[in-house]
Structure 1
Amino acid sequence: MVGKANTMPVISKLYCSSSQVVLAVRRRPHVVNGGGFVVMDCSQMVVFRVDGCGVLGTKGELVLRDGNGDALLLIRRKGGMVEALSIHKKWKGYSFDYEGSQKLVFTLKEPARSCLANNNAIRISTEPKSSSKQCEYGINGYFPDRKCSIIDSTGNVVAQVGVKKEVEELMASKDVYQVVVRPGIDQAFVFGVIAVLDYIYGESTRC
């Protein structure tokens, strides 16, 4: 995953680093079901927070915030009769501009429950910005095991979820893990996707 890459902003180029970034994810204390998780850098500074349904009070809705608590992404699971009959459920991520209006930036297709173990079943597409085209991503591996990657349409890893061996030996749970993000990739987008994976598999963001 080491190497230079073109900047590929989905939410903002502010979250695209010129070098590889390793971030730690920690589940919020189990005081409230669906409390979500926090994302920290190597200095233990909070970079992102994800509010789940236990904080928001609404199922099928997530909010990604920056380290200051400002909302970056509103993520909603689409509902309705057509959705109920479909083999896929759709999640849509909306960014906020400086006026507070929402703009669709990505869509994630969640397969039927029986297909969740299929590595290639979850697909993500980003909405093109003025200077770029739509990009497609997938998930390789199994998120609950903390052994999975977000891959682009050519199979290149753009972000990798894992657990340090020493942490894995100390903790039986998967409440702490790390995410390695490739240079040029929008970290806010990556954690928006991870927030949805967390919810799909009934973890920290789900009530």
Structure 2
Amino acid sequence: MMNKERAVIVDAKFSFSQETQLTVHKTSVFFPGDGFVAYDPNGKLLFRFDSYGPEPHPRDELLLMDASGKCLLTLMRKRPSLHQRWEGFVGEKAHDQNPLFSMFRSSIIGRSSVTVEVYGDPGEEYQIEGSYSQRCCKIYSIPSDHSSRESVAEIKRKVDPSSNVMLGKDVFWLNLQPGFDGAFAMGLVLILDQMYDDGDGDHEDHVDPISAPLNPPS
């Protein structure tokens, strides 16, 4: 694995010096994206997302908040978009504010990875591969010359340490490599849930369009 200092994308206080596992809990199972909370390894609430309204689908604007309710990211779906493109904005989106990043399917045909482009100087690019619907995918950092890639975060099923039993898909781990912005990673989770979770009305079939599933932890 490459060792380098990572740029802060959303907020430096959510970048950890050591590899860190956040526990993410989907707080409503009736519709994808109704609610999420994320906790650090000590059980401290870090992030939350709540969305309750008369129209569970589709949601074109999501707000990622910290534990106090401060908005960290505004996530907006672009329509129309064959690639299911989303854009992320720092804080509560203001009029004429430029997006921080864009996230979209790499292909509209068959199984595909997801590409994330972070704007800036220099810009950054990430790729997401695996099966989000099975809570088993990785986020890779892609260098500008595309010569190699580095895993910076992973979504995987959580195992109860007391019983060694794998929990349901509504509780999972978000594993962060040292220095990778946890708020940015959680924003990507919210978008993935809208793109690919079970029962998403935007899909014509029930096959997860992110590339081949990775093996879940034993």
Q: Normalising to structure 1: TM-score of the pair?
A: 0.79
Question: How far has the Cα of 1:151 moved from its partner?
Answer: 0.4
Amino acid at match of 1:155: R
Following superposition, the deviation at residue 146 of structure 1 comes to 1.3
Assess if the C-alpha contact under 8 Å between 1:40 and 1:47 holds in 2. yes
Cα gap change, 1:104 to 1:31, in 2 (>3 Å) = same
Q: CA RMSD in A?
A: 3.1
- Which letter maps to 2:165? E
1:138 is matched with 127
Aligned equivalent of 1:9 = 8
Identical aligned pairs, as a percentage?
25
Out of 194, 198, 211, the residue aligned to residue 199 of structure 1 is 194
Structure with greater helix percent:
1
Check whether the contact 2:32–2:197 (CA below 8 A) recurs between aligned residues.
Answer: no
Matched ranges for 1:127-206 at <5 A: 127-128=119-120, 132-153=121-142, 154-166=148-160, 169=165, 171=167, 173-202=168-197
Residue by residue, what CA displacement relative to the aligned partner does 1:52-102 show, whole Å, maximum 9, x if unpaired?
Answer: 46499772221110111111101011114xx3xxx41210000028x9674
Give, as a single letter, the amino acid of the residue that structure 1 aligns with 2:156. G
How far apart, in 1, do the equivalents of 2:123 and 2:77 lie? 21
CA shift in 2, pair 1:114/1:124, >3 Å: same
Equivalence map 1:38-77=2 (5 Å): 38-52=37-51, 54=53, 59-77=59-77
8 A Cα contact 1:37 1:205, kept in partner: no
Q: SS at 1:180's partner residue?
A: strand
Show structure 2 runs of 5+ residues with no match. 143-147, 203-218
Residue 84 of structure 2 corresponds to 89
Larger relative contact order (C-alpha < 8 A, sep ≥ 6)?
1
Alpha-carbon offset, residue 30 of structure 1: 3.9
Q: How does 1:13-32 map to 2 (within 5 A)?
A: 13-30=12-29
Change over 3 Å in CA distance of 1:26–1:8 after alignment to 2: same
Counterpart contact for 1:52–1:205, Cα < 8 Å: no
CA spacing shift, 1:181–1:77, aligned 2, 3 Å: same
Q: Is the 8 A contact 2:132 2:197 kept in 1?
A: no
Post-superposition shift, 1:140?
1.8
**Matched-pair contact (CA < 8 Å) for 1:36–1:51:** yes
TM-score normalised per structure 2: 0.75
Q: Do 2:38 and 2:46's aligned partners in 1 also have CA atoms closer than 8 Å?
A: yes
Q: Residue 115 of structure 2 corresponds to which residue in structure 1?
A: 123
Change in CA separation of 1:188 and 1:114 when aligned onto 2, cut-off 3 Å: same
Aligned length: 193
